Amino acid sequence: MNADKCKVMVTQAWNDGTNIEVAESTIEVVHDFWYLDSYISRNSNCDKECQARIRKANSVFDRLKEVWKNKHISLPIKVKLYESLVMAAMQYIAELWPLTVKHMKTLESAHHKFQRRLLGIGWYDRVSNVEIRKRT
């Protein structure tokens, strides 16, 4: 058994400092880990999950840059692609997250950033988020 692959997450109620051993390998106790394309945290915090989802959405958005720049594709089609691909990546299993106001603001900020990039509007253009939402 490879010791660097053996990990276990225990509940916060676990106060026993005893090492867990399997086949003469010590199992590492971790506070969070990546499982089935999602972070699972010992304390039910979704900070890492939110950041990972935003990174994945950014990756999807960047891979579609030729679509966003294409003048022959209408804005409504681009918006539908954005909602079905980028937003889906950002909101994957979000219904399970214990979201706080901070998390909501972080996700909303990322959403507005993507919408601005989709429309080709920079922060220097001084267009409000309300106006951005109207256009998309």
* In a domain? residue 15: yes
Spell out the alpha helix ranges (H) of 1-135: 47-63, 65-69, 75-81, 87-90, 101-119, 129-135
Query: In what side-by-side order are the strands of the sheet with 7-8?
Result: 7-8, 25-29, 20-22
57 shares its domain with 10: no
* In a domain? residue 38: no
Cα separation, 116 vs 99, whole angstroms: 24
Predicted local confidence at residue 98, as pLDDT: 75
Q: Give residue 103's pLDDT band: very low, low, confident or very high (50, 70, 90).
A: confident
pLDDT in tens, 20-74: 666 777 667 666 666 556 656 666 667 778 888 899 999 999 999 999 999 999 9
102 shares its domain with 58: yes
Cα separation, 115 vs 136, whole angstroms: 7
pLDDT beyond 50 at 118: yes
Residue 25 host element (H or E): strand 25-29
pLDDT beyond 80 at 18: no
16 shares its domain with 79: no
The domain tally of the chain equals 2
Query: If DSSP codes are grouped into helix, strand and coil, which group holds residue 38?
Result: strand
Domain of residue 58: give its range: 45-135
* In a domain? residue 39: no
* In a domain? residue 19: yes
Residue 40 host element (H or E): strand 38-41
118 shares its domain with 89: yes
* In a domain? residue 37: no
Structure tokens at 30: 């971790």
* In a domain? residue 88: yes
- What contacts 72, CB < 8 A, 6 or more positions away? none
62 shares its domain with 26: no
Predicted local confidence at residue 34, as pLDDT: 60
